[in-house]
């Protein structure tokens, strides 16, 4: 466990904050659902396993984005700056493969073996989440200051735009579904307010209808609507 000082943002561009909030929320909710699941009820656990697969897929995608769009340019300016993170990413990829094997084992197991396989999956996922929470902490306390010291905010925003530009519309919506409910009301209004003026109207409408409205409380969606001037 690292105990690095948690740096203030000081108005700098934060590449990690919102996506990490989304990943933390989604992973912790899944962890709780895995703990309370009756794995011998195949019909009831099918949506849970599907949601877990989605998070593993988005997690793998997130690692690939960081490798290509953050680590490569950072390495070009600060040699060996991402060695530890790369090792952690390799460990995560291994964990994703092992977790997928465990999911498949449950799906293919006879009914009387599912509960113990479910317990194995639950415990393995808790370990992965623990490692990922520490990994994200390192990125936000060690890597972020390195980025601020070596890149301008315009360059960091360019990195984020390149990541977003690499996403299919479906994957963009999937990430938005994670992130939008996980952030504060003011962060949500700032993110989606920026999207409202810069993204194509149909893409913005899809984010509102498929990522924001179904995944926010009535109160949070009303707050967003009034801040962005959306039609009711
Ligand atoms: Fe990472």
- Domain ranges, ordered by start, for the chain: 17-166, 169-232
Q: How far is the CA of 88 from the centre of ligand 1 (A)?
A: 8
Q: What is the mean pLDDT of residues 198-213?
A: 95
Give the pLDDT confidence score for residue 4 in this predicted structure: 73
CB-based burial, 51-68: b 16+ in 10 Å, e otherwise: ebeebbebbbbbbebbee
Q: How far is the CA of 147 from the centre of ligand 1 (A)?
A: 14
For 17-166, CATH number out of 3.40.640.10, 3.10.20.30, 1.20.120.520, 3.30.70.20 equals: 1.20.120.520
Those residues with Cβ within 8 angstroms of residue 144's Cβ, 6 or more apart along the chain or in another chain: 7, 14, 15, 16
pLDDT band at residue 5 using 50, 70 and 90 as cut-offs:
confident
As a whole number, the mean pLDDT across the chain is 95
pLDDT in tens, 15-38: 999 999 999 999 999 999 999 999
Please list the alpha-helical segments (H only) found in the chain.
Answer: 17-36, 42-65, 72-77, 83-108, 114-138, 144-150, 153-165, 169-179, 185-198, 201-206, 218-228
pLDDT of residue 214 exceeding 60: yes
pLDDT of residue 1 exceeding 60: no
pLDDT band at residue 231 using 50, 70 and 90 as cut-offs:
confident
Q: How far is the CA of 132 from the centre of ligand 1 (A)?
A: 8
Q: How many CB atoms lie within 10 A of CB 32?
A: 10
pLDDT in tens, 161-190: 999 999 999 999 999 999 999 999 999 999
């Amino acid at each position: 466990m690292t105990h690095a000082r948690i740096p203030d943002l000081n108005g700098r561009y934060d590449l990690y904050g919102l996506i990490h909030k989304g990943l933390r929320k989604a992973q912790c909710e899944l962890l709780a659902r895995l703990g309370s699941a009756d794995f011998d009820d195949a019909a009831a656990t099918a949506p849970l396993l599907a949601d877990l697969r989605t998070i593993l897929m988005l997690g793998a995608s997130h690692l690939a984005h960081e490798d290509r769009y953050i680590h490569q340019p950072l390495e070009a300016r600060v040699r060996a700056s991402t060695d530890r993170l790369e090792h952690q990413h390799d460990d995560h990829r291994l964990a994703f493969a092992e977790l997928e094997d465990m999911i498949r084992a449950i799906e293919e197991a006879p009914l009387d073996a599912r509960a113990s396989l479910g317990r194995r999956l639950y415990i393995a996922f808790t370990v992965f989440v623990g490692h990922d929470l520490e990994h994200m902490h390192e990125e936000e306390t060690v890597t972020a200051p390195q980025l601020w010291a070596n890149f301008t905010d315009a360059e960091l925003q360019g990195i984020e735009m390149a990541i977003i530009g690499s996403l299919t519309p479906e994957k963009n919506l999937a990430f938005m579904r994670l992130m939008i409910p996980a952030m504060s009301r003011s962060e949500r209004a700032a993110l989606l307010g920026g999207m409202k003026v810069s993204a194509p109207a149909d893409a913005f409408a899809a984010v509102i209808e498929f990522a924001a409205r179904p995944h926010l409380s009535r109160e949070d969606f009303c707050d967003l609507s009034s801040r962005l001037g959306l039609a009711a």
